C-alpha cells in the first residue's frame, strides 16, 4: 500500500514537472532568451572595443559595467538598458529550466554536469539582468570596485581566504571550460544549422576564437583572486578591467591584450549568431 502510494506521488510529481516544462517551452521565453544572447553579444563587443582602445593607449573600463555605461549615456540608453534587463532575465529563466526540468531526461553524470553548468549561468545571467536594471534606474555600479568590495566581504568572514580561493577556483574552472569548449568546438550543437560550407567555417572561427579568448579573460580574473588570497589584499582583485589593464605593463602584454580584445569581439559576433540560429 505504501509502495503504491509512493509510486502515485512520484507519478504525480513527474506529470506536474512535465506540465511545467511544457509551459516553459513557450515562444515568449524563447524570444526573451534570444534577446538576452543579443544583449550579451553587444556587451562583449563593447568590452572588446574598449580593451582594443586600451591596447593603443586609450582609456575606458574594459568590463561589463564600463561597456553598459557608454551605452546608458547615449540618447536611447535607458530603454536599451531595460530591454537588456528583460533579455538577460529571460535567459536566466531559460537556463533555470535547462538545469532543472530538462535535466531530468539526462543520465546521472550528464544531469550533474547540467546542474553545474546551467546553474552557474543562471547566476551569471541573473546578475547581468540586475546590472542592466540598475543602469536603467540610473544607478550603474563600478564593476572593479564591486569586485574589490566582494572580495573584502569574503575576507571579513570566518573562512575569508578559503572563500576567496573557492571563488577563484570557480572562475578559473569556468575559464578552462570556455577554452576547452572553443578548442574542441563543442559549441557546434548549440546552432540549428552548421553546414560544412564557407559560411559554416567562418562561424566556427568566430566560435573558436571567441570562446578561447573569453576563457583566457576569465583565467586572468581568477588569477587576480588567487593573488588577492595569497597576499590577503582584496585590492588585488580588480575584476576584468584590472586584469586587462595590468597587461599594459608587461613586455608582450599589449599584444596579448590586443588578441583578447579581438577575441571578445569575435565572441560577441558568435553570440549574435547564437541569438538568431541557436537551438533553444
| DSSP state at residue 280 | -
Q: What is the DSSP string of 181-199?
A: HHHHTTTGGGBS---SSHH
With cut-offs at 50, 70 and 90, classify the pLDDT of residue 12: very low
| DSSP state at residue 278 | B
pLDDT (tens digit per residue) in 35-46: 999 999 999 999
Please check the confidence at residue 254 and state whether its pLDDT lies above 60.
yes
* Measured distance CA(259)–CA(184) in Å, rounded: 20
* Measured distance CA(261)–CA(248) in Å, rounded: 13
pLDDT (tens digit per residue) in 125-161: 898 999 999 999 988 776 556 676 667 777 777 677 7
CA-closest candidate to residue 150, choices 238, 62, 43: 238
What is the residue-averaged pLDDT of the chain? Answer: 81
pLDDT (tens digit per residue) in 212-239: 999 998 998 888 888 888 877 777 667 7
**Poorest-confidence range of 22-31, 216-225, 246-255, 262-271?**
22-31
Give me the residue spans of the domains in the chain. Answer: 2-277
* Measured distance CA(21)–CA(57) in Å, rounded: 51
- Is the pTM higher than 0.75? yes
Contacts of 25 (CB under 8 A, 6+ apart): 97
Amino acid at each position: 500500500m505504501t509502495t503504491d502510494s509512493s509510486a502515485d506521488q512520484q507519478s504525480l510529481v513527474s506529470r506536474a514537472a512535465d506540465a511545467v516544462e511544457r509551459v516553459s517551452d513557450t515562444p515568449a521565453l524563447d524570444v526573451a532568451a534570444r534577446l538576452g544572447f543579443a544583449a550579451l553579444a553587444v556587451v562583449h563587443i563593447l568590452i572588446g572595443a574598449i580593451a582594443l582602445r586600451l591596447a593603443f593607449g586609450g582609456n575606458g573600463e574594459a568590463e561589463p559595467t564600463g561597456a553598459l555605461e557608454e551605452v546608458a549615456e547615449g540618447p536611447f540608453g535607458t530603454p536599451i538598458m531595460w530591454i537588456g534587463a528583460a533579455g538577460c532575465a529571460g535567459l536566466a529563466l531559460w537556463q533555470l529550466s535547462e538545469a532543472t526540468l530538462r535535466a531530468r531526461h539526462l543520465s546521472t553524470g550528464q544531469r550533474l554536469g547540467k546542474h553545474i553548468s546551467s546553474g552557474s549561468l543562471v547566476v551569471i545571467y541573473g546578475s547581468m539582468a540586475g546590472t542592466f536594471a540598475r543602469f536603467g534606474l540610473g544607478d550603474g555600479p563600478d564593476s572593479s570596485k564591486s569586485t574589490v568590495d566582494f572580495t573584502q566581504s569574503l575576507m571579513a568572514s570566518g573562512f575569508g581566504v578559503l572563500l576567496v580561493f573557492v571563488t577563484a577556483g570557480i572562475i578559473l574552472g569556468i575559464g578552462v571550460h570556455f577554452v576547452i569548449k572553443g578548442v574542441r568546438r563543442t559549441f557546434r550543437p548549440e546552432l540549428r544549422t552548421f553546414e560544412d560550407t564557407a559560411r559554416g567555417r567562418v562561424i566556427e572561427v568566430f566560435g573558436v576564437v571567441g570562446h578561447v579568448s573569453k576563457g583566457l579573460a576569465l583565467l586572468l580574473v581568477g588569477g587576480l583572486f588567487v593573488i588577492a588570497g595569497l597576499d590577503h589584499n582584496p585590492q588585488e582583485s580588480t575584476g576584468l578591467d584590472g586584469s586587462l589593464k595590468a597587461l599594459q605593463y608587461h613586455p608582450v602584454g599589449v599584444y596579448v591584450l590586443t588578441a583578447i580584445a579581438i577575441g571578445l569581439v569575435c565572441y560577441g559576433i558568435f553570440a549574435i549568431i547564437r541569438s538568431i540560429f541557436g537551438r533553444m
